[in-house]
Chain A
């Protein structure tokens, strides 16, 4: 009923159209929509599993959760052919230049997902060897909370990346997608931002990020020392 009852569309030319005989053989759309549609439905991830989050990431690719449904069937183990960097697990300072080099090697357009508490904030590892959130090293689009996050969380994060891509427009391209050769292999944030991002927090240090952003010095707990 419905559609068939309406007046037939005007005949344009003789060729069979997209929607049947006599319909137009072309579509109109917006370039932004088409480009974003193509980009968001074939996001090739660069998996960077450094810890237990990597196991959940592998589970997300496997048959139960099957990220291929989102156009991500190909794990791109070369950063040169990757679109999304999924940093799953803790990142040490020793590993930080590797992470930054992988990010620098990925071509635009590229996005970054910080998966799990350790990648996002350093997690429980508020120690001398651990990067306190990879957003001090590379720009992050979506943070996934959890320790480790379940595959549903990662899928939701990737859908959020897709939503973010939907909002992009080609006239922002030079602003969003510009590459700065001077920024290669440099921290993403300046010193003050790194200090505020990686300030100590949590019960163990009697210090809370919400409670004033005052960074304490090294913990001094004389009681812990055997005299």
Chain B
């Protein structure tokens, strides 16, 4: 079931007395939940970056004598089916999952902004063409196409990266991004369409500013608000998509851990060793909640007359 985050696109007028940025920042700070979300994410990032340095275990080092140990003083979250320390794997997996999330977001937002911006700005034929393209991509049932694409693009023929985990990580990221840019494009198009008609744009045009500058230096910064909000939600969506794909077995190749493929590995013994299934899922839940909180906070701050 969907629950499209971008159904309503609110437009702002820049009628603030104070500098617009500080006003928004203050509104954001007041949003307690969003602050909470940021705190969680920052903690998570710190732990993920520096935690592994303190861990005596390596994520891929198997220890066949220590299979499926429940949480204990030696292994705070227990071990998995090959004796690898779960906590260490969660942290390394976090690097991969978050990297995929952020990278997929960057690609999809860039792509979406480009397409939506061009469509909104130029209108007419270009708008029609680009929107048909967007509609076509939206018409595909996403999980289905994700699976097919990941099957087909499983092993990108990039010689330099051959044999490293980066190959499958990159291909998964690309696949996820290719199916995530459409809501952003719609959003950006709507923004551009309305901002384009505003007085300060007409003024700039009459002064002779060329199209490119118009788009990037005048319109885009004003459309930035909804884009940032969308980008935030895209990260959460990408993390969940990656976990679904990996759970079904179409994600990153072993032995590289991601939160999603840890859940897949856990499935065969989730009754015997529930900790292998509970912790990866839990951390996905927490991360995604935190990101959503931040997104909501941003949305409230950047779209003041939403509520």
Are A and B genuine complex partners?
Answer: no
Chain B residues proximal to chain A, CB less than 8 Å: none
Chain A residues proximal to chain B, CB less than 8 Å: none
